[in-house]
C-alpha cells in the first residue's frame, strides 16, 4: 500500500492527500509533526534526505518527494493531467508558478501566523503579503472567462493552486476583491471526492 508521510495542516501535504482521494487510491497516512522535528529523524531522512513532507512511499519501497512531483506521478495517465504536450506544459507552468510566486508568500505567512512566528517580522510579513496579493492578482486575471486553469477542466494545476489559496485568509489575506478566484475556489470544492484540508 502507498504510504504518505504528511502533516495535517500542510497545504503541500493536502495536495497529495486530495489527489489520492479523488483518484480513489488506498493509502496509509503517517502524521509527522514538523514543528517537533519529526521529519528530521534518521528513519525519515533515509526516505527523504531533505527532511520535508509530503513524501510518498511506493509499494516497492521507493520514495518520492516534493508535492508537485508526487502529483505529476500520480496524475500521469489520468483525467487530472491533459494528454497534449502544450496543455501538459501549461499545467507545469502553473505548478511552477505556485511554488515560486505563490507558496513562498501565502503559505509562509499562514504558517507564521498559525504558529505565532509573525511577531517581530512585521516588515517581512507585509512584503510577503504584497507578493502574495501579486500572485492572487495574476490568478484572478487568468481566471476571467475560465472555469479552471488549463484546458477548461479540473487538473493538478488547480489542486496545486487551491491548496494554499483556499486557506489564505488564515494568513490575513482578504479574498473579497477577487470574485473570479472565489468562484473558482467554489468549483474546486464541488469536485467529486473533495475533502477538506483538516481531514486525514
Listed by start position, the domains of the chain span: 2-75, 85-189
How would residue 191 be classed by pLDDT, with cut points 50, 70 and 90?
very high
pLDDT value, residue 91: 98
CATH architecture of 2-75: 3-Layer(aba) Sandwich (3.40)
186: Cα within 13 Å, side-chain hemisphere? 7
Question: Is 199 a residue whose pLDDT tops 70?
Answer: no
Q: How far is CA 144 from CA 34, 57, 122, 180, 183, in A?
A: 37, 38, 33, 6, 10
Which stretch of 101-110, 119-128, 180-189 has the lowest confidence by average pLDDT? Answer: 119-128
Q: Look at phi and psi of residue 135 and say left if phi exceeds 0, alpha if psi is from -120 to 50, else beta.
A: alpha
Give the cell for residue 55: 513524501
pLDDT value, residue 11: 97
DSSP 8-state code for residue 98:
I
76-123 pLDDT, tens digit per residue, is: 999 999 999 999 999 999 999 999 999 999 999 999 998 888 888 999
Contact status, residue 55 vs residue 17, Cβ threshold 8 Å: no
Q: How far is CA 182 from CA 187, 196, 199, in A?
A: 9, 16, 22
pLDDT value, residue 114: 87
6-61 pLDDT, tens digit per residue, is: 999 999 999 999 999 999 999 999 999 999 999 999 999 999 999 999 999 999 99
**85-189 carries CATH number 1.20.1050.10:** yes
Q: Which of 50, 10, 8 is nearest to 30 (CA)?
A: 8
Amino acid at each position: 500500500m502507498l504510504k504518505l508521510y504528511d502533516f495535517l495542516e500542510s497545504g503541500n501535504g493536502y495536495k497529495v492527500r486530495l489527489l489520492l482521494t479523488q483518484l480513489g487510491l488506498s493509502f496509509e497516512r503517517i502524521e509527522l509533526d514538523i514543528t517537533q522535528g519529526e521529519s528530521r529523524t534518521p528513519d525519515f531522512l533515509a526516505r527523504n534526505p531533505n527532511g520535508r513532507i509530503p513524501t510518498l512511499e511506493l509499494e516497492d519501497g521507493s520514495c518520492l518527494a516534493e508535492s508537485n512531483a508526487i502529483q505529476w506521478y500520480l496524475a500521469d495517465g489520468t483525467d487530472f493531467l491533459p494528454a497534449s504536450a502544450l496543455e501538459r506544459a501549461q499545467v507545469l507552468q502553473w505548478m511552477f508558478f505556485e511554488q515560486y510566486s505563490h507558496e513562498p508568500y501565502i503559505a509562509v505567512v499562514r504558517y507564521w501566523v498559525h504558529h505565532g512566528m509573525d511577531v517581530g517580522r512585521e516588515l517581512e510579513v507585509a512584503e510577503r503579503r504584497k507578493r502574495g496579493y501579486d500572485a492572487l492578482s495574476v490568478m484572478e486575471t487568468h481566471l476571467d472567462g475560465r472555469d479552471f486553469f488549463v484546458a477548461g477542466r479540473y487538473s493538478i494545476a488547480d489542486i496545486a493552486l487551491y491548496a494554499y489559496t483556499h486557506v489564505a485568509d488564515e494568513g490575513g489575506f482578504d479574498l473579497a476583491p477577487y470574485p473570479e478566484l472565489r468562484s473558482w475556489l467554489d468549483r474546486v470544492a464541488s469536485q467529486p471526492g473533495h475533502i477538506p484540508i483538516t481531514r486525514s
